[in-house]
Amino acid sequence: MSKGNHENPSLTQCPIARTVAIIGEKWSLLILRDLARGMNKFSEIQQSLGCPKNLLSTRLKTFERAGIIARNEYREAGARARQAYYLTESGKALIPVLLALQDWGEEYLLP
């Protein structure tokens, strides 16, 4: 039996491990921070972070599949339809986590 074919039960049963699997990737918390601050257009988030577009797209899809964000289509005059992203109820429930990380960083990490 191959080890790679089975998930570690201690990881799948641990709520922290399951959460980190979704929001623990590079850029994920900063994307959530920007969404919580009201940035909802792909271009706004990408410009704010400077992260690769394909990475941002992947993270947004992961958040959407997990129910953390939802998207709505919008169209600016003369432009093609685009997507706007919003925190769902479960996404908004992460805001205190982001604020706690901010507080910790302000307390224990030098700028």
The pLDDT of residue 106 is 97
Radius of gyration of the chain (CA): 16
Task: Find the mean pLDDT for residues 28-52.
Answer: 98
The pLDDT of residue 13 is 87
Fold for 10-108, please state it: Arc Repressor Mutant, subunit A (1.10.10)
Locate the domains of the chain by residue range: 10-108
d(Cα 109, Cα 107) in Å, to the nearest integer?
6
The pLDDT of residue 76 is 86
Tens-place pLDDT, residues 77-106: 898 999 999 999 999 999 999 999 999 999
d(Cα 18, Cα 6) in Å, to the nearest integer?
15
d(Cα 99, Cα 27) in Å, to the nearest integer?
16
d(Cα 14, Cα 7) in Å, to the nearest integer?
12
Asked if 50 contacts 44 with a C-beta cutoff of 8 angstroms, the reply is no
State the pTM of this model: 0.85
